[in-house]
C-alpha cells in the first residue's frame, strides 16, 4: 500500500528552482521532528523560501476506523491520536456521545475528569519543554521535566492502569473510582512541582542562549493565527483569546478560577512562556479541586448498547495543543455514520510555512519546536 | 434570537438557502456555485473569521461539504453545508479567504475526491501519490488492508 518515500529533488519539486536555490528534506526520520514528519524545504543560501510538509507516514485512518466501532469503543482509538493528551481526547469523544444521549454526568465524575485533564496538560507541557530545549541544544531540562512527568505517570498508572493511553473515560463518567492514595499523591505532586519548576525556569527562561534563539523567531500575527486556524498556546501567544475552557466551558470549568494565559509577541519565546504559565494555572485548578472532590457516583447509569439519535453533534475541548473538535454525524445506529476529528496539530502545522519563510534554517528548530507538533495527531 | 437574525441575513444574501434547525447551531445549505460569494460576505460583513472545521460527509447519494464558522469577536457560530454531486463533486476553494482551508481542502480532495477549483496546490497530502480511490467514501473497498467489522 505504501509507496517508497519520494525524495524530492530539484527535478521532482513542483516549481523549478532558481539559480542558487537548494531543496533539502528534513525527516521523515529526524531527531527534531519527534515523529515521522517530512518537511521539504527550499533554501536560498541559508534562508528558507518555502516549507512543504509531507504527511501520512503514521496515518491510520482513525476516522474510518471509528465508523465501524460502537459508541463505547471508538473513544479509545483517539488515545492514539495525540498520545500526550490521551485523557483529553477521550473526554472530547465521551462528551460528544453524552451530548447526543442528553446524559447528565455526575458531579464527582466531572471533577475527576478535570483533575485528570489538568494533570495530562502538565505532563504534556513538561515533555514539550524537555524535548524543545533539547532541540535547541540544552540537554539538562529534559531530565528535570521527566522527573515531574514521571510522578504524573505514576499517579495515572495507579488509578487508570496505564501510563500513556489511559482509556479512563466512558460515556457518562469515568471507568473506575479513584485509587485511595490518589488525593495524597496529587497533593505531594503539587508541592513537588512548585518547588522544582523554579529550577527549570532558572535553567531555561532566563538563559541568554535560549532567549537569543527564540525571541523574535517565527513570529505569527494575531490575524494570521486566526486565519490559519491556530488554537491553543500557539494562538494564545499571538494574542488570540480562544481558550475553550474559558470561552465555551465544559465539565465544570465555569466554576473554577484560572487565567487564560495570553501573550502578544507571537514569537517562539512567547509560546514558551504561555506554556510555562499554563502549567501554573493547571496546578491552580488542581489545588481548587483536590480537596473538594464530591462524593457520589463516578459513572452515570447507561444502557449496554448506546444509540444516538439521528443528527449531528459537535463538541470541543482544549487539549494541551489546542482545540480538539469531535464532529459526529449519526444516522440513528449503534455506530457513528461519520466522524471528523478537528485536530489542533493539523491546523497549527499549516501555519509553519508562513512562520518560517524568510527566516534562517537554524531558526526552524525553534519555530517548529514551539508549535508542539505531535505527528499522530496531525496524521490521525 | 441570534438564530433569527442570522436566518434573515442568509435569506437576503442567498434566496436559495435552506435552513436546518435542531442542532446546536444554525445549519445553512447553500448552492455550490454561490459559495465563494457568500464566503466573502461572511468574513467582511459578519466577521466570521475563524473556520474551525472543514469536512466532507458521504451520504451515498451525494457528498456534503460542511464548514463550521465562528466569529472570534462574538462567538457566533454557523454551519454551512454544500451538497455536491457524487460523480462530479466540484466546489470553489475558500483557501484565499480562510487560509486554514488549504490543508483541510487537500484532505477532503484525497479522501473524498472533491475538486476545489482555484486551489493553489491541490495535491495529495496524507496518502501516497500513487494511491487510487477515495478511501473515506462509503463504497471504498481495499481487500488487503481493510478489515470489515
A78, A93 Cβ separation under 8 angstroms:
yes
CB contact under 8 A, B135 and A64: yes
Inter-chain contact A1–B128, Cβ cutoff 8 Å? Answer: yes
Residues 6+ apart with CB under 8 A from B16: B30, B31, B34
Determine the Cα–Cα distance for residues B26 and B6; give it in Å rounded to an integer. Answer: 8
* pLDDT tops 50 at residue A85: yes
Closest residue of chain B to A53, computed from CA coordinates: B125
Q: Which residue of B has its CA nearest to A376?
A: B126
CA distance B33 to chain A (A): 23
Q: How far is CA A57 from the centre of its chain?
A: 19
Asked if the C-beta of B129 comes within 8 angstroms of chain A's C-beta atoms, the answer is yes
**What pLDDT, on the 0 to 100 scale, is given for residue A1?**
36
pLDDT band at A259 (very low <50, low <70, confident <90, very high): confident
Out of B23, B68, B135, closest to residue A311 by CB: B23
Residue A261 — pLDDT band, cuts 50, 70, 90?
Answer: confident
Per-residue pLDDT at A230 exceeds 80: yes
B13 touches chain A (CB under 8 A): no
d(CA A194, CA A148): 10
pLDDT tens digits, one per residue of B58-76: 888 888 999 998 888 888 8
Distance CA A149, CA A166 (A): 15
Q: In this complex, is the C-beta atom of B102 within 8 Å of any C-beta atom belonging to chain A?
A: yes
| pLDDT value of residue A195 | 87
CATH number of A62-341: 1.10.645.10
Q: How far is CA A107 from the centre of its chain?
A: 25
With CB atoms and an 8 Å threshold, state whether A227 touches B99. Answer: yes
pLDDT attached to residue B149: 61
Q: What's the Cα-to-Cα distance from B94 to each of A143, B27, B68, B141, rounded to whole Å?
A: 45, 18, 13, 31
Name the residue among A2, A346, A354 with its Cβ closest to that of B128: A2
Kindly list the residues from chain A whose CB atom is less than 8 angstroms away from the CB atom of residue B57. Answer: 329, 337-338
Does residue A256 belong to the interface with chain B, where contact is any CB pair within 8 Å? no
d(CA A29, CA A268): 23
Q: Could you tell me what percent of chain A has a pLDDT over 70?
A: 96
Nearest to B126 among A59, A229, A327 (CB): A59
Q: How far, rounded to the nearest angstrom, does the alpha carbon of residue B145 sit from its chain's CA centroid? A: 28
Query: Model's pTM, two decimal places?
Result: 0.86
Domains assigned to chain B = 2-88 (3.30.460.80)
Element (H, E) at A198: helix A182-204
C-alpha cell at B86: 457524487
The DSSP element (H or E) to which B19 belongs, if any, is strand B18-20
Q: Which residue has the cell 463533486?
A: B89
Least-confidence region, from A242-246, A283-287, B19-23, B133-137:
B19-23
How would you write A266-317 as a 3-class SS string? Answer: CCHHHHHHHHHHHHHHHHHHHHHHHCCCCCCCCECCCCCCCCCCCEEEEEEE
- Say how far residue A113 (Cα) sits from the centre of its chain: 17
Amino acid at each position: 500500500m505504501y509507496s517508497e518515500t519520494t525524495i524530492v529533488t530539484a527535478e521532482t519539486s513542483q516549481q523549478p528552482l532558481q539559480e542558487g536555490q537548494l531543496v533539502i528534506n528534513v525527516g521523515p526520520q529526524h531527531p527534531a521532528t519527534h515523529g515521522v514528519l517530512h518537511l521539504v524545504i527550499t533554501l536560498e543560501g541559508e534562508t528558507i523560501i518555502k516549507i512543504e510538509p509531507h504527511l501520512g507516514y503514521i496515518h491510520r485512518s482513525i476516522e474510518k476506523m471509528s465508523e465501524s466501532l460502537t459508541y463505547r469503543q471508538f473513544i479509545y482509538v483517539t488515545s492514539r491520536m495525540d498520545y500526550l493528551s490521551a485523557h483529553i481526547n477521550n473526554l472530547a469523544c465521551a462528551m460528544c456521545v453524552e451530548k447526543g444521549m442528553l446524559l447528565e454526568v455526575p458531579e464527582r465524575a466531572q471533577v475527576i475528569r478535570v483533575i485528570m485533564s489538568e494533570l495530562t496538560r502538565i505532563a504534556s507541557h513538561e515533555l514539550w519543554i524537555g524535548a524543545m530545549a533539547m532541540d535547541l541544544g540544552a540537554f539538562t531540562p529534559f531530565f528535570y521535566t521527566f522527573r515531574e512527568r514521571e510522578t504524573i505517570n505514576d499517579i495515572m498508572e495507579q488509578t487508570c492502569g496505564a501510563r500513556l493511553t489511559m482509556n479512563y473515560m466512558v460515556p457518562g463518567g469515568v471507568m473506575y473510582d479513584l485509587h485511595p492514595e490518589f488525593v495524597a499523591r496529587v497533593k505531594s505532586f503539587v508541592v513537588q512541582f512548585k518547588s522544582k519548576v523554579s529550577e527549570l525556569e532558572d535553567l531555561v527562561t532566563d538563559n541568554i542562549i535560549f532567549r537569543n534563539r527564540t525571541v523574535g523567531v517565527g513570529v505569527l500575527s494575531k490575524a494570521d493565527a486566526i486565519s490559519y486556524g491556530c488554537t491553543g498556546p500557539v494562538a494564545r501567544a499571538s494574542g488570540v483569546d480562544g481558550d475553550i475552557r474559558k470561552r465555551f466551558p465544559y465539565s465544570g470549568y465555569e466554576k473554577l478560577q484560572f487565567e487564560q494565559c495570553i501573550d502578544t509577541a507571537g514569537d517562539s519565546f512567547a509560546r514558551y512562556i504561555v506554556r510555562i504559565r499554563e502549567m501554573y494555572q493547571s496546578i491552580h485548578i488542581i489545588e481548587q479541586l483536590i480537596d473538594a472532590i464530591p462524593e457520589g457516583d463516578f459513572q452515570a447509569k447507561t444502557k449496554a448498547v448506546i444509540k444516538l439519535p439521528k443528527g449531528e453533534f459537535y463538541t470541543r475541548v482544549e487539549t494541551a495543543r489546542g482545540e480538539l473538535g469531535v464532529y459526529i454525524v449519526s444516522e440513528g445506529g449503534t455506530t457513528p455514520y461519520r466522524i471528523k476529528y478537528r485536530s489542533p496539530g493539523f491546523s497549527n502545522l499549516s501555519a509553519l510555512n508562513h512562520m518560517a519563510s524568510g527566516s534562517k534554517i537554524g531558526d526552524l528548530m525553534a519555530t517548529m519546536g514551539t508549535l508542539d507538533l505531535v505527528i499522530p495527531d496531525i496524521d490521525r | 434570537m441570534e438564530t433569527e437574525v442570522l436566518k434573515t441575513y442568509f435569506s437576503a444574501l442567498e434566496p436559495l438557502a435552506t435552513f436546518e434547525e435542531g442542532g446546536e447551531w444554525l445549519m445553512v445549505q447553500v448552492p455550490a456555485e454561490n459559495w465563494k460569494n457568500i464566503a466573502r460576505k461572511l468574513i467582511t460583513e459578519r466577521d466570521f473569521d475563524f473556520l474551525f472545521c472543514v469536512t466532507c460527509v458521504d451520504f451515498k447519494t451525494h457528498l456534503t461539504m460542511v464548514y463550521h464558522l465562528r466569529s472570534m469577536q462574538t462567538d457566533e457560530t454557523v454551519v454551512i453545508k454544500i451538497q455536491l454531486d457524487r460523480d462530479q463533486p466540484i466546489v470553489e476553494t475558500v483557501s484565499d479567504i480562510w487560509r486554514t482551508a488549504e490543508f483541510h481542502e487537500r484532505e477532503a480532495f484525497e479522501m473524498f475526491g472533491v475538486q476545489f477549483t482555484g486551489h493553489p496546490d491541490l495535491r495529495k497530502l496524507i496518502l501516497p501519490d500513487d494511491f487510487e480511490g477515495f478511501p473515506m467514501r462509503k463504497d471504498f473497498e481495499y481487500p488487503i488492508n481493510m478489515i470489515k467489522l
